[in-house]
Amino acid sequence: MTTHRLHLGLFFTGVGPQLLWSQPDFANHTHIDTFIQTVRTLERGLFDAFFLGEGLRVRENRGRVYDLDVAGRPDAITQLAALAAETERIGLVATQNTTYNFPFDLARRLASLDHVSGGRAGWNIVTTDNAWTGENFRYGGWLPHERRYERAAEFVATARSLWGGDSVDTHSDLVNVTGSLGVTGNPVLFQAGDSPGGRDLAARLADAVFSANTDYDKAQAYAADLTARLKAYGRSRDQIRILPGAQVVLGDTEKEAAEKADWIQREQTTGPRAIAFLEQYWNKDLSGYDPDGPLPDIEPAEGELDPSRGTISIEHRTGKLERIAEWRSLGLSIRELVLHVTPRHNTFVGTPGGVADEWARYVRTRAVDGFNLVPQLLPGSIEDIVDRLVPELQERGVYRTEYEGRTLREHLDLA
Partner 1 sequence: MSIHLALEIGGGALPDTEAVAVAEAAGCALVTINDSPLSPSPEAGVRAGFLARRTRRVGLAPTLHPALTEPFHLATQLAALDHASQGRGAWVVGTENSAAAQATIGGTPVSDLEQEIADVIDVARLLWDSWEDDAVVRDVASGRFLDPDRVHHVNFTGERFSVVGPLITPRPPQGQLVVLAPDTLTDKSDIALVAAPTLDEVAARAEAARAANIPLAFAELDVALGPADRGGSGRAESFFGGGRAGVGGAEGDRIDGGGAEADRADRDARLRFAGGEDEFRALLNRLEGIVDGVRIHPVDLAIDLPRLAVATRRGPVSGPTLRDTLGLPRPANVFAGEPR
Q: For binding to partner 1 (CB under 8 A), which residues are involved?
A: 21-22, 26, 30-32, 36, 55-58, 64-75, 77-86, 100-102, 104-105, 108-109, 111-113, 115-116, 135-138, 171, 175-179, 182-183, 270-273
| 53/353 with CB nearer partner 1 | 53
| 66/222 with CB nearer partner 1 | 66
Please give the Cα distance from 367 to 213 (Å, whole number). 10
CB of 203 to partner 1, least distance (A): 28
| 63/234 with CB nearer partner 1 | 63
CB of 186 to partner 1, least distance (A): 15
| 73/411 with CB nearer partner 1 | 73
CB of 65 to partner 1, least distance (A): 4
CB of 111 to partner 1, least distance (A): 7
Name the pairing type of β-strands 188-191 and 208-209: parallel
Residue 162 phi, psi dihedral angles, 5° rounding: -65, -45
115: Cβ contacts below 8 Å, ≥ 6 apart: 183, 185
Please give the Cα distance from 301 to 279 (Å, whole number). 10
CB of 56 to partner 1, least distance (A): 7
CB of 281 to partner 1, least distance (A): 19
CB of 250 to partner 1, least distance (A): 25
CB-neighbour burial class of residue 9 (10 A; exposed 0-12, middle 13-18, buried 19+): buried
| 136/365 with CB nearer partner 1 | 136
Please give the Cα distance from 346 to 388 (Å, whole number). 19
Residue 108 phi, psi dihedral angles, 5° rounding: -70, -40
CB of 129 to partner 1, least distance (A): 17
| CB hemisphere CA count around 211 (13 angstroms) | 32
Q: How far is CA 222 from CA 159, 214, 314, 405, in A?
A: 27, 10, 20, 29
Amino acid of residue 275 = I
| 65/224 with CB nearer partner 1 | 65
| 15/355 with CB nearer partner 1 | 15
CB of 396 to partner 1, least distance (A): 36
| 86/129 with CB nearer partner 1 | 86
Amino acid of residue 252 = D
Question: How remote is the C-alpha of 236 from its chain's centroid?
Answer: 24
Please give the Cα distance from 155 to 106 (Å, whole number). 10
183: Cβ contacts below 8 Å, ≥ 6 apart: 108, 111, 112, 115
Helix (H) or strand (E) holding 220, with range, is helix 216-232
Task: Choose among 209, 100, 195, 200: nearest CA to 155.
Answer: 100
| 36/324 with CB nearer partner 1 | 36
Name the pairing type of β-strands 60-61 and 64-65: antiparallel
- Using alpha carbons only, give the angle 285, 286, 292 rounded to the nearest 5 degrees: 165
